[in-house]
Amino acid sequence: MNEGEAAMEITKLDAPEGITALLGWAPGTTPAERIRRLAKEILADRLQIDAAFVNVDREAPKEFGHHTRPVPTVDGREVPVAVRTADFRAASVVAVSEPHLLVGLDIRDHQPDEGMLHEIRAHSHLWGESLWEEATTDQLLLHWSRVQAVRQADPRGVSVRPEQVRLDPPFAKAWTPDRHDAYKLVDLSRNGFIITLAYGQPATE
């Protein structure tokens, strides 16, 4: 930790081979501060250099509504990796992978408000309508977290509606009706947070 930086609780997550993921929790910090620090730590370890030599900035918006991503550089040169992020209150999760992988993240807690539960019930289609009343809050949240991670992984982003995402019952893979290659889903939940990582290969069609 550099002088002047707020203390952050950092946890390494059990991500699949080829993906490195860290969870950071630091009340009183901004998402940008947490993401920058987590990404620098991952890249420093990956490149075997001091974190001071890694810079992480946001890419310039390409169009209105474009979700910008962190871009790491060393000595002014962009590092050829993909950096994906997700935030919830004072926590952030960052995943770094090879650039060809499609990766998405989601993080949330176990205490949704009524508005969130209403949104989940309105847009999720995992069980039949008759089973919605039987689903526990954690089942709903786990499903919704995986749906959101897939939406972030998909190159089309938020244009993929939640109801278009299909999950298998064990929550191990997901797909959309127009994309046959499935995303793999990994539960990275730690420290009281529900954390989902979705990853897959670009469509070849």
For the chain, the domain total comes to 2
State the DSSP code for 44.
H
What pTM value is reported for the model?
A: 0.90
Coil, helix or strand at residue 15: coil
- Pair 51, 126 in one domain: no
Does residue 95 sit in the same domain as residue 161? no
- Looking at the fold, whether 122 and 67 belong to one and the same domain comes out as no
Listed in sequence order, the residues at least 6 apart from 150 whose beta carbon sits closer than 8 Å to its beta carbon are 104, 160, 165, 174, 176, 183, 185, 198
State which of 75, 101, 127 marks the end of a domain: 101
**132/188 same-domain check:** yes
Angle between helices 114-123 and 137-153 (to 10 degrees): 70
pLDDT per residue as tens, the chain (205 positions): 666 678 999 999 999 999 999 999 999 999 999 999 999 999 999 999 999 999 999 876 555 444 578 999 999 999 999 999 999 999 999 999 999 999 999 999 999 999 888 888 777 765 555 455 677 888 889 989 999 999 999 988 878 889 889 888 777 899 888 776 689 999 999 999 999 999 998 876 5
Same domain, 82 and 59: yes
The answer to whether the beta carbons of residues 13 and 23 sit under 8 Å apart is yes
Are 134 and 92 members of one domain? no
Q: Is 70 within 8 Å of 56 (Cβ atoms)?
A: yes
Q: Last residue of a domain, which of 101, 136, 153? A: 101
Strand pairing of 179-187 and 82-88?
A: unpaired
13 and 97 in a single domain? The answer is: yes
Three-state SS at 72: strand
Residue 56: strand, helix, or coil: strand
Which of 101, 121, 136 corresponds to the end of one domain?
101
Q: What is the 3-state secondary structure (H, E, C) of 87-114?
A: EECCEEEEEEECCCCEEEEEEECCCCCH
Domain of residue 164, residue span: 110-200
17 and 54 share one domain: yes
Whether residue 70 is contained in a domain is answered as yes
